[in-house]
Structure 1
């Protein structure tokens, strides 16, 4: 069986729905100041409480939702982004909102 690069990619790289769900979702919770200082200022909202969003979409999301996406700050992304897992309740809710099939 021939495998392609996409066989090894996370389903998140072809989704991005959770990063385009709500301007209130990508908020900072358990990060310490040192971790928050790593996030470039242009991606942080005015209240310094979470990620800056363009509408419902996180400003650090690159690409087209449901097609091919990536996070511009993946290695230093906030904890809320790290805890959302493919197929969990939050994932399913975001995918439904974008008309994408639920992951099983």
Structure 2
């Protein structure tokens, strides 16, 4: 059986569709894992991934081309909203549609 590529590695739509806010404690300088240069402080308790509040949105950590080959440049250190995002859920489908991509087919999600 051939090895299949996870659909997220050819997508990236979620990284270019939503604002990503998270607790300041997730920043490296506060003991977390998110690299400092990739987020901005929004309030005393909240940070936001750079680029996710732009129009069009595109997270500063996103590499590659949406719908072809995309990856998170800080995957191991990404903030909690990114860790909690689920491939194939409603938000995933909305993000894919925004970028002209079809919803993921059942069974393609690992």
TM-score by length of 1: 0.81
2:51 alignment partner in structure 1: 53
RMSD: 1.8
Structure 2 residue 7 is matched with structure 1 residue 44: no
Deviations 1:54-89 (A, max 9, x none): 730000000000000110110111111111111101
Paired residues, number: 95
1:98 alignment partner in structure 2: 99
Structure 2 residue 14 is matched with structure 1 residue 21: no
5+ residue gaps in structure 2?
106-110
Between structures 1 and 2, the one with greater helix share:
1
TM-score by length of 2: 0.77
Which aligned runs of 4 or more in structure 1 are off by greater than 4 angstroms?
Answer: none
5+ residue gaps in structure 1?
none
**Deviation at residue 42 of structure 1 after TM alignment:** 1.6
Contact persistence 1:45–1:53 (CA under 8 A): no
2:89 alignment partner in structure 1: 88
Secondary structure of 1:28's match?
strand
**Deviation at residue 39 of structure 1 after TM alignment:** 1.6
